[in-house]
C-alpha cells in the first residue's frame, strides 16, 4: 500500500512540474509537441492533434517538448524555471494546508526536525514502509515529493532545469 502511494505521489510531483512548463510555454506562445509524465518504457501513449501525451513506467521525471522557436533569454529563463516554481508552490500550498495555516510555526518545526534528524527518520519509515498508512502519511509524502523535485531540478546539471538555466546564462556571456 505504501509503495502505491509513493508512486502516486511521485507521478503527481512530476505532473505538477511538467504542468508548469506546459502553462508557461502556452503563455510564451510556444507550441507543445510532447508531454511525458514518467520515464522509461511507455505505459500509455495518446496522440492528439497537436501534442502527444506519454505516461512512462518510472515516475522519476518527465519532459515537455516544444516546437523549435527562437526565444528571448527572459522567456527561456521563465520556461526553464517554471517546473521547479510549480513544485515549490505545490510544496508551500500543501504544507500550508498540513499545518492548518500556521506556516511560520510549521516551517520552524520542519527546519528543527530536519536539523535534529527526526524528519529524516520519519521519511525513511514512510518510504521503506509502514504497517498503518494514513492520510497524514500520504500528505507528508506528497509534500516531500514536491520538495524533492524542486531541489533536485535546480541542480546545474543538464538536462535538469538548473542545467538549462546555466546553459542559457553561458550563452549570453
Q: What is the pTM of this model?
A: 0.89
Task: Please report the pLDDT score of residue 136 as a whole number.
Answer: 79
Q: Residue 60: which of 17, 24, 89, 25 has the closest Cα? A: 17
**18 is a catalytic site residue:** yes
Catalytic residue among 18, 105, 164, 171: 18
Identify the pLDDT of residue 39: 97
State the residue range of the domain holding 138. Answer: 2-30+68-172
Does a structural domain hold residue 91? Answer: yes
Q: What is the pLDDT of residue 103?
A: 81
Establish if 46 belongs to a structural domain: no
**Residue 49 covered by a domain:** no
CB 33 within 8 A of CB 65: yes
Total domain count, the chain: 1
Q: Output the pLDDT for position 125.
A: 67
Residue from 45, 49, 29, 26 nearest 37 by CA: 45
Return averaged pLDDT per consecutive 10 residues of the chain, 173 residues in all. Answer: 84 98 94 96 95 96 91 93 97 89 82 77 66 78 92 94 94 88
In a domain, 10, yes or no: yes
Q: Report whether the peptide linkage leading into residue 18 is cis, meaning its omega lies within 30 degrees of zero.
A: no
Q: Give the whole-angstrom CA distance, residue 41 versus residue 56.
A: 6
Q: Tell me which residue of 171, 150, 166 sits closest to 14, measured CA to CA.
A: 150
Enumerate the H helices of the chain as residue ranges: 2-27, 73-98, 103-116, 118-128, 135-153, 161-172
Q: Is residue 40 part of a domain?
A: no
Amino acid at each position: 500500500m505504501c509503495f502505491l502511494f509513493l508512486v502516486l505521489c511521485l507521478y503527481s510531483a512530476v505532473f505538477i512540474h511538467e504542468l508548469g512548463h506546459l502553462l508557461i510555454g502556452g503563455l510564451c506562445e510556444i507550441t507543445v509537441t510532447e508531454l511525458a509524465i514518467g520515464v522509461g518504457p511507455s505505459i500509455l501513449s495518446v496522440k492528439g492533434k497537436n501534442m502527444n501525451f506519454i505516461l512512462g513506467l518510472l515516475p522519476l521525471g518527465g519532459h515537455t517538448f516544444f516546437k523549435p522557436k527562437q526565444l528571448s533569454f527572459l522567456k527561456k529563463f521563465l520556461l526553464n524555471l517554471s517546473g521547479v516554481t510549480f513544485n515549490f508552490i505545490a510544496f508551500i500550498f500543501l504544507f500550508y494546508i498540513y499545518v492548518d495555516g500556521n506556516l511560520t510555526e510549521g516551517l520552524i518545526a520542519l527546519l528543527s526536525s530536519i536539523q535534529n534528524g527526526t524528519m529524516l527518520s520519519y521519511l525513511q519509515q514512510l518510504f521503506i514502509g509502514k504497517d498503518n498508512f494514513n492520510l497524514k502519511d500520504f500528505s507528508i509524502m506528497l509534500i516531500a515529493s514536491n520538495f524533492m523535485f524542486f531541489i533536485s531540478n535546480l541542480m546545474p546539471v543538464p538536462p535538469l532545469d538548473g542545467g538549462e538555466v546555466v546553459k542559457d546564462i553561458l550563452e549570453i556571456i
